[in-house]
Every structure is written in C-alpha cells, then in structure tokens.
C-alpha cells in the first residue's frame, strides 16, 4: 500500500500526465490524417481508376501485412539515410498515419461495398453524376456502417502509440517505465495507473463515437 502512495507522488503523476499528453497528441494527429488519407485511398480502390487503384491496392496490402513496429523503425532509422530526418514525435505520427491509413482504406472500401448497388443505380437514373451520387447518397450511408470498425481501429491506434517507446517517444507507457525504472517497487502501481489512463482515453473515444452515431440516426 505504501508503494502506491509513494508511487503516486505529485511529481510522478505530473510526469505521467505529460506522457499522456504526448500519447493524445500523437493519436489525435494520426487519427485526423489517417482518416483523411484512408478515406481517399478507400474511395480510390472502390472506383477502380485504371493502374492507380491497383497501385494503391498493392501499397495497402503491403502496409497492412507489416508490423507497425517495423514501420516505426523505417521512418525513424531508415528515412534519415535518404535525407528525411524527423524528430520522434513527427516520426511517430508519420508511421502511425501510414499504417492506419492502410487499415482505414480497407474499412472505407468495404463500407462503400456494403451500400446496396440499387442506391447508385437510382441516383444515376435520377440524373446525378457519379461524384454527386457518391457524395450525396453512397458515402453518407457507407460512413454510418463504418463507424464501429473505425472506432475499433482508432482504439487500437491509441494503444499502439506505446510501440513508439522503441524510438523513445516520450508517451505514457515510456514515462511509466522511467518512473518504475528508478524504483522497482513502483512497477505495479504504474501498471495500474497506465490501465486507468488508457481506459479513460479510449472510453472517451467510444463515447464520442456513440454520440456521433446517435446524431446520424436522428439526422
């Protein structure tokens, strides 16, 4: 019990929260960019632009089948060899965005596929162009179907930021490691603190998604 009281000193808790801030910063930025890029790639795969779509398909397959850890290594250790030198935070964001975009592209593509073909036929018969039909009819319905898998993906993303401890990203898990590295008795209190903080971060995400879903259902 004393271990817990000592471990949760003001200094240590402030240090953990600084780590949490980096986790949130990297997660939110990666979520923002991967949502944008993943949506565009998913649409590109769906509409089947000759050559371009197969290229996108190949890249997505490649990235989805590599460990995120390896992608982190590449962005942090390999990119400098070709002159692209990134700090740990930008490198983490780039790696997460690249990996998550590939995952999201597949979610987006399957979401669009799940909208019945009759919706597109009706829209085209109604005189809408392909782009108008996509924007007005297909994508809104597809996104509604995509919300649950996208939220799961973003929850994984938040948890996977801890992999970036490998390139010394000063995020939540890394800061906890530093604390119990100084005193092994603090290990278990730190694990408990990590569990609570990750749970709060991800549960907030789920609740946010539920609110969006409810608004879409009423819209």
Partner 1 sequence: MSMIEFHGVEKYYGKFHALKDINLTIDRGEVVTVIGPSGSGKSTLLRTINGLEHITEGELIVNDFDLADKHTDMNKIRKNVGMVFQHFNLYANKTVLENITLGPTLVLHRPKDEVQKEAMALLDMVGLVDQAHKFPAALSGGQKQRVAIARSLAMKPRAILFDEPTSALDPEMIGDVLDVMQKIAKQGMTMVVVTHEMGFAQRVGDRIVFMADGQILEDSRDVKGFFEHPQEPRAQEFISKIFNH
Nearer to partner 1, 81 or 218 (CB): 218
8 A C-beta contact, residue 169 and residue 163: no
- For residue 17, report the phi and psi dihedrals to the nearest 5 degrees: -65, -35
186 to 23, 40, 106, 183, 195: CA distances (angstroms): 21, 45, 42, 6, 14
Write down the least CB distance from residue 142 to partner 1, Å.
10
Write down the least CB distance from residue 123 to partner 1, Å.
7
Nearer to partner 1, 124 or 159 (CB): 124
Binding string, residues 178-217; x marks residues near partner 1 by CB under 8 A: ----------------------------------------
Q: Which long-range contacts link 174-178 to residues 24+ away (Cβ below 8 Å)? A: 174/19, 175/15, 175/16, 175/18, 175/19, 176/16, 176/19, 178/15
Nearest CA to 105 out of 97, 93, 116, 94 is that of 97
Nearest CA to 170 out of 56, 6, 19 is that of 19
| 34-42, 80-88, 111-119, 159-167 -> range binding partner 1 (CB under 8 A) | 111-119
CA quadruple 104, 110, 111, 112: dihedral positive or negative? positive
| 5-13, 23-31, 65-73, 118-126 -> range binding partner 1 (CB under 8 A) | 118-126
Among positions 80, 116, 181, 208, the unique one binding partner 1 when judged by CB under 8 A: 116
- Residues in 127-156 that interact with partner 1 by CB under 8 A: 127-129, 132, 136-137, 140-141, 144
| 52-60, 124-132, 149-157, 177-185 -> range binding partner 1 (CB under 8 A) | 124-132
Write down the least CB distance from residue 136 to partner 1, Å.
7
Residue with tokens 């609110």: 211
Write down the least CB distance from residue 192 to partner 1, Å.
45
Q: What are the residues binding partner 1 (CB under 8 A)?
A: 116, 118-119, 121-129, 132, 136-137, 140-141, 144
């Amino acid at each position: 019990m004393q271990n817990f009281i000592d471990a949760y000193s003001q200094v240590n808790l402030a240090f953990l929260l600084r780590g949490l801030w980096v986790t949130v910063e990297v997660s939110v930025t990666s979520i923002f960019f991967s949502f944008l890029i993943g949506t565009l790639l998913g649409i590109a795969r769906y509409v089947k632009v000759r050559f371009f779509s197969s290229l996108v398909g190949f890249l997505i397959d490649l990235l989805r089948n590599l460990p995120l850890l390896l992608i982190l290594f590449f962005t942090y250790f390999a990119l400098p060899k070709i002159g692209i030198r990134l700090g740990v935070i930008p490198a983490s964001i780039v790696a997460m965005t690249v990996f998550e975009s590939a995952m999201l592209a597949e979610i987006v593509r399957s979401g669009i596929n799940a909208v019945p073909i009759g919706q597109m036929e009706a829209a085209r018969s109604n005189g809408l162009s392909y782009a108008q039909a996509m924007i007005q009819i297909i994508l809104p319905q597809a996104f509604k179907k995509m919300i649950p898998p996208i939220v799961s993906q973003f929850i994984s993303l938040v948890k996977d930021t801890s992999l970036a401890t490998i390139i010394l990203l000063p995020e939540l898990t890394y800061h906890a490691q530093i604390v119990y590295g100084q005193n092994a008795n603090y290990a278990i209190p730190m694990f408990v603190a990590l569990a609570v903080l990750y749970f709060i971060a991800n549960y907030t995400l789920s609740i946010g998604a539920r609110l969006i879903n409810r608004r879409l259902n009423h819209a």
